[in-house]
Structure 1
Amino acid sequence: MDQSIARAKSCTVDCNNVDRKLRQILHMTEDEAHFHMKQSAYLYNLGVHTMPKSHHCLNMRLTVEYFKSMPLDPNDSSAHKFNLPDNRHYVILSKNVLAASVVINSTVSSSEDTENVVFHVLTDSQNFYAMKHWFARNSYRESAVNVINYEQIIFENFPEFGTQQLYLPEEFRVLISSLERPTEKSRMEYLSVFSHSHFFLAEIFKDLKKVIVLDDDVVVQRDISFLWNLDMGEKVNGAISFCGLKLGQLRNLLGRTMYDQQSCAWMSGVNVIDLDKWREHNVTENYLQLLRKFGNNDDEASLRASALPISLLSFQHLLYPLDERLILSGLGYDYGIKEELVQNSASLHYNGNMKPWLELGIPDYRKYWKRFLTRDERFMDECNVSP
């Protein structure tokens, strides 16, 4: 050992060469780490925006079965319920069979009376027949389910609207900072608002007076039928206020449009819509005017981004604040929500990227969604659907 140490000491070492070599190794390591971070971010983004292969299989099998088999259409017996204004009408915009079925199943399971309950599922042409066959095969107590091809009904009846594609509720990631405590760390929130497709509800459901709009990433855990007895006065949209963000903080986005800077933003998820007041206040016409100002029909990304200012401005002074305890949001991105809060909330909103039907969904929250998933469905087994 002594001889080895003495031999090592006798060797001349060029410190500059060692330093240069170590720096090369450091730079290579940093470049490699940066590459893997970009790759991970890309794969994550791909995972949250792509339909799982098993879900695509389920949609295809249901569509093929719809055309192969005799029509299993329950509309023959329940179609008379679809346009009765005295019934309780829920509206869901969805392209996901399982998501829509969980919303419906959780709502009827939590309701005392479902005899006069009607669900209107607005979907696109690609998923229409899969939805039709699924809801023909599965029943949800005494409620009726009406599957509507949104794109076809807009094309045939309202071609002048131009926006014929079905858009689901839009979600925007915002950073909230405290003006009173500027040193506090900013927090991230996902704000979900109505898409362009929501603004045609009053035209699609001309015979109805009031509807409750449910996002397809919502789970209802308590009876919410009390919402039908709300007196909203002259207000149009019953929604959860989101006062962490006020219109004055969005002045760069809203431009020179007249608005109340102290007005709070609001959230979609569970919304009570008075269609009569909607028509009185010309909400659809106001939306079309704002669309011409903010929208860019040639660029889908810009068109979807314009949903935020248009939604906030369209319902300015027309919002009825709902009790915040009605819905618990953040289950699609916030790992820090206490389980007691989740269990006791009337409804859960999985807004954010980590939806409960994805493998990336937060495990602690997915179980509340899976409770209302349809079991013993042949096509789910064949397509290996196991959210």
Structure 2
Amino acid sequence: MRSKFAIGTYIDGMRSKTLKWIVLTATLLIIVIVGVQLYWLNKIYSLEQKTFNMNVVKSIRGLYEDVKLVDSPVNHLQDYIEHPSPDYFLFRTGSNYNKDSLIWYLKDELNDFDVLTDAHISFYNSGKQKYISREYITAAAARYDPVVFPFPVYERQHDYVLIYFPHRNKYVLSQMNFWFISSAVLFIVLIGLAVSLFYFYRQKFLAEIQKDFVNNFTHEFKTPLAVMKISSDVLLQEKIIQQPERLHQYAMIIQNQTMHLQKQVERLLQVAATERKELPIQKNHVSVNDLLDEAITKIQPLAVEKKASLDLQLPETENLELQADRAHLELAIVNLLENALKYAPDPKIIVSAGKENDHIFISIKDNGIGIDKKYHKRLFEKFYRVPTGDVHNVKGFGLGLSFVKRIIDAHHGVITINSIPGIGTEFKMLLPGN
């Protein structure tokens, strides 16, 4: 049966993934809300612009009713009013009207239709083809210093009055104060929520780092301790004194495993001290042949206990070499060898290495129970264990293959699996060559 710790760590892993999805979903929602708010602000701005234009046109139409601006009857006012540019409005006049009355009524109409911003008015004479006078209307809602602006000349065959609103955009934006304030409050709330999510996720991330440290510590010390346990059992046998060579061999195994544990303590402390996802590796010149020999030597007592067959196949003509972190890469190989011993009733393991294009491959093939193809994609996930077959009868936390993949990823390599249920499994590591 699966241990309670394995079930707990698997559930924690699932919770971690759920949290990541929650944070991602919340982030996307915040982005969508901000996008929608900006979209509506733009729509409201456009609406306010149209409302302003409409109110100006209504004011001019009302002016035609207040003052006789043209000699002929006015039937279609839309033909007399033009809007040549966003800040300019032009309306047709005749020659017989009182300018002061026009200005007074225009100001009154603008106030009635809530066009509460200042305006410059120029009077165009078609005979002289120029503006003959200019007036300034102050704003009812705000005070501006009058500034002389060059008025564009729109040549027409009739007299007209040109109205220019220099602070039109400022006035339109002032009409949107409520929307700006509410949007600012919303943005502050969303920013606070985003910061809280980031802080919460960071705390969860740091907690996972600590948990990873404990889990990796537990998992990676399991094999050396098992080897030392077997070696110590051998040394406690009474006949061992009469076999000095065997006594020396197992004493050396305990010494090597002790040194290995010391190095692993230092390595795991480095991993625990960093917040990075990548392992802090230190690449050096490594002989693949020697690396595999040492890995097999470390696993040898376990292989003897399980009466396993270990076959090492290396190229006879050359010694394979690469740039790698020797301790981490050896740890990955030992993990795969341990799995090969675990999941086979009568283990027969083939370890091989060679060149493949510009890369070096290391293959570990066993005759174990095999893994169904539908589980291959999840094999390297942290805390994941295959939920079927005899795998439940083997103790473990689902951390080994996850850690192996982290090591291979840190070396910019890849690891693949080829497995057939009931036949066996092959793990193949492909690493950049020299």
Please state which band the TM-score falls in when normalised by the shorter chain.
under 0.3
Q: Over alpha carbons, which structure has the higher Rg?
A: 2
**Structure number with higher relative contact order (C-alpha < 8 Å, ≥ 6 residues apart):** 1
TM-score scaled by length of structure 1: 0.28
* TM-score normalised over the length of structure 2: 0.25
